[in-house]
Amino acid sequence: MDTNRFTQVIQEQKKEFSSQQSVFFVKREKQKDVNITSYLAQVITGIRRCGKSTLAHMILQENDYAYVNFDDERLSGINASDLNNILEALYAIYGNFNNLLLDEIQNIDGWHLFVNRLLRSKMRIIITGSNSKLLSREIASHLTGRYIPIELFPFSFKEYLLANEFQLKELETTRNKGLIVNHFMNYIKTGGFPEVIKGEDKKKYVSNLFDAIVTRDIIYRYGIRHTRTFREIALYLTGSFSSEISFNRLKKIFYLGSVNTAKNYVEYLEEAWLFVSLPKFSFKKQESIRNKKLYLIDTSFAELAGESSTANTGKLLENIVMIHLLRNKQKYDYEIFYYKHNVEVDFVIYRAQRINELIQVAFSLEDEKTRTREIRALITATNYLKAKKLTIITMEQKDELQVNGHIIHVIPVAEWMLSF
């Protein structure tokens, strides 16, 4: 493709993006993590449609910058040797610029050589990508020390409230307490994809997005031959969220050739950001590697497997807590595990070489059996792990329990999510 053709594509991309954005800009919590004054590449990764490009445009809007989206069928098949022609076309469309946004550039083999050259010329660059492992492997090997990674997720609850124009003030009033619970129940069902929150039909949007990711980002990219089986596994796992997974069980259910095939399939789904996994806490590294729980990147995907948000509120609540912990992992520098030995604890927060906190998630503690089970799990686990803090996250209850010399903080999920 010659420079003139590239110029036409980039011009159309510019118009298309401008027409899509209108006024729906919601301040993202990750904005402060992107440093456009740095000469290190800012690399934003996350699932498709979570707002990576919009975040970059919001940050760059007061600056001279150029933009190209490589996730465009008109640019399919190009290689690193074409990137200089694209750069020429960008100057033709945008004039002089000091900042460059490269959207989904991992689709181009050898992209790192182009980026390295621009970095050496003092161009400020933001890169986005929807494949976490592929992008990170290339960055680690080719942009060593010359990049800052930023992971972006669908809207947090705070961002969801901002998108719905809810004022985050006077949260302690009776009215606002009730409204926040109402908003949170809607957030569980709706999820955090910006366009769904903006008004797109959730069922159709999420189904199409899921299918596009499975097809384009996994089946085509990795050349999976048994496409029907892979789709069935992906759908099956959307109904197994907030649960331990067994690769051997997947192998048997879907008649896979080996346990390694099951492991690879789950890894592909994680690389595309459809799922995230949580390792089991163990002082034996091999045990931690072998066992994992799987979570959806966004609770809107749960309904793909027919999961009712009403019947599975407890699992959805746990999933939301997991994603929020992951969202803040880089900021607070901790690791997340689950614990299972005689009792099970949903989340172990490991920081500075020690167990910082144990967290249980329960929709309600009003049922005595549930209350006893959750408290017993925390006390039993902390007797072994020596955690600094014990927490139970619920839908609405707030309390401070003293049990066997330990203090357990009971906190409503909305308050917990808005607190950090």
Which CATH number is 352's domain given?
Answer: 3.40.1350
Residues 211 and 264 in one domain: yes
- Note whether residue 191 is domain-resident: no
Tell which of 253, 275, 307 closes a domain.
Answer: 307
Summary mean pLDDT of the chain: 92
Percent residues over pLDDT 90 in the chain: 80
Residues 301 and 320 in one domain: no
Residue 191, pLDDT score: 96
Integer Cα distance of 392 and 373 in angstroms: 12
Q: How many domains are there within the chain?
A: 3
Locate all alpha helices (DSSP H) within 328-367, ordered by sequence: 329-332
Residues 341 and 246 in one domain: no
Amino acid at 197: I
Give ∠ CA 405-411-417 in degrees, rounded to 5. Answer: 135
Residue 23, pLDDT score: 47
Residues 256 and 319 in one domain: no
> Which domain, by its residues, includes 259?
201-307
Whether residue 37 is predicted with pLDDT greater than 90 in this model: the reply is yes
Residues 246 and 356 in one domain: no
pTM over 0.85, yes/no: yes
Residues 143 and 260 in one domain: no
Integer Cα distance of 272 and 296 in angstroms: 12
Helix H or strand E encompassing 187: helix 174-190
Across 194-285, where does the E strand assignment appear?
A: 243-244, 275-279
For residue 105, is it left (φ>0), alpha (ψ between -120 and 50) or beta? Answer: alpha
Residue 312, pLDDT score: 83
- Note whether residue 286 is domain-resident: yes
Tell which of 307, 339, 357 closes a domain.
Answer: 307
Whether residue 348 is predicted with pLDDT greater than 50 in this model: the reply is yes
Residues 100 and 206 in one domain: no
Residues 6+ apart with CB under 8 A from 65: 94, 97, 98, 99, 100, 101
Residues 258 and 205 in one domain: yes
CATH for 280 = 1.10.10
Residues 267 and 334 in one domain: no
Integer Cα distance of 162 and 169 in angstroms: 12
Residues 333 and 403 in one domain: yes
Report residue 2 as tokens: 């010659």
Amino acid at 278: L
Q: 121-150: per-residue pLDDT in tens?
A: 999 999 999 988 767 777 777 787 889 999
SS3 124: strand
Tell which of 266, 281, 307 closes a domain.
Answer: 307
- For range 214-229, the mean pLDDT: 95
Residues 40 and 85 in one domain: yes
